[in-house]
Structure 1
Amino acid sequence: MKNIVKISALFLCCSVFKAQQTEVSVVRYEDLEKRIQQEHDKLLVVNFWSTTCGPCVKELPHFMEVNTKYAGNQMYKMILVSLDRSADKERVIKFIKNKNLTAEVLLLDDIKRMNTWIPRFEKDWDGNIPVTLFYKNGSKIYFNDGEMSKEDLEKTIKENL
């Protein structure tokens, strides 16, 4: 009976999680900044990407493997920040489904102010993607400019969890 309850609970959690991925929140820089601060008690992995970015699309399966591995750890969270245009929101939702993205996805609709918010995330970020930032206790601890290998992603997480 306990196993049936556990399986039912797991199925319910997975169903709810899948349902969350059918909609994407459109945010501005300030919203994303607040969201990052809300996760101050976790190791937070924030990946900036786009559906039209080849290296981004290439690294996402590795990110999903790692996200699945650590998803049960309450001290860990991954957020994927799409830099697609808000007009392309439906394409982003379709991409999430087709690529089975399991991490939370936000759509950052603040392209006109890129020159303002990019250096606020990282002074050395030139605006190219993919970019991955790691936060712990609300502070940035690591910046990865460019495509990140599965091994480097896992190593960075293990060292900081």
Structure 2
Amino acid sequence: MKAYLLITCFFISPFFYAQATETQKSSTATDAIAVYDFKSLEPLLYTETDKVYIVNFWAMWCAPCVKELPIIAEYKKNNPTVELLLVSLDFPENIEKSLKPFLKKKGITAKVVILDDPDANGWIDKINPNWSGSLPFTILFNSKNRSYHERAFVDSKDLENEINKIINQ
């Protein structure tokens, strides 16, 4: 089922991809976007501090993801002590042509990495066995608490409420 959801998303991706990149211009090469396999990404999903981390799995072709990105960016802007990592599931070969221009157009300045690991069924279960594989998917955590959200946050207050649960547990 997980593979089916991801494969379905990839087949509809050209539609969203075309809409997202139609009017974009090239960005500068100074905006490095690292490409990780899951083994390299996994340590970034844990911390030994009380600092709150937001790790959001998304893609340019995912309409709910695109709608949610400004909400997460706004929260980060208003809460600079929170760490934010945006994990794109877009293709690495599209970094320069599409991803960087997309981020620039949307005003997203958070750290972005690409997860390029073909074993989606394996790494999805390692992140959370209850995750179906659909996007967006967000992990909120610190050293003591962790929550998983297989949905888009509707606004900054929605995200803030979930983060407060992590802090106050």
Q: Same fold (TM over 0.5)?
A: yes
User: Once the two structures are superposed, what CA deviation does each residue of 1:16-45 show, in whole Å capped at 9, x if it has no partner?
Assistant: xxx9971101111111112233x4312111
CA contact (8 A) 1:82 1:106 kept: yes
Change beyond 3 A, Cα 1:20–1:68: farther
Larger fraction in strand? 1
The Cα of 1:135 is off from its aligned counterpart by 1.7
Q: Distance in 2 between matches of 1:152 and 1:141?
A: 16
How far is the alpha carbon of 1:140 from its aligned partner?
5.8
Which residue of 2 is the match for residue 61 of structure 1?
Answer: 70
Matching of residues 2-151 of structure 1 within 5 Å:
22-37=31-46, 39-41=47-49, 42-71=51-80, 73=81, 76-90=82-96, 91-110=98-117, 112-137=118-143, 141-150=146-155, 151=157
Say which SS state the counterpart of residue 84 (structure 1) adopts. Answer: coil
Aligned length: 137
Instruction: List 4+ stretches of structure 1 deviating above 3 A.
Output: none
Partner residue of 2:17?
Answer: none
Residues 84 and 136 of structure 1: CA distance in aligned 2, closer, same or farther (over 3 Å) = same
Q: What's the CA shift string for 1:63-99, capped at 9, x where partnerless? A: 111010111x2xx211110000111112111111111
Equivalent pairs: percent with the same residue? 31
**Aligned-partner residue type, residue 155 of structure 1:** N
Cα-Cα RMSD: 1.9
Residues 39-72 of structure 1 show CA distances to partners (whole Å, capped at 9, x for unaligned) of 431211110000011000011111111010111x
Distance in 2 between residues matched to 1:21 and 1:77, nearest whole Å? 21
Q: Which runs of 5+ in 2 are unaligned?
A: 1-27
> Shift of the alpha carbon at 1:102?
2.5
8 Å contact from structure 1 (residues 27, 107) kept in 2: yes
Report the TM-score when normalising by structure 2.
0.75
Give the Cα–Cα distance (whole angstroms) in 1 for the partners of residues 101 and 77 of structure 2: 20
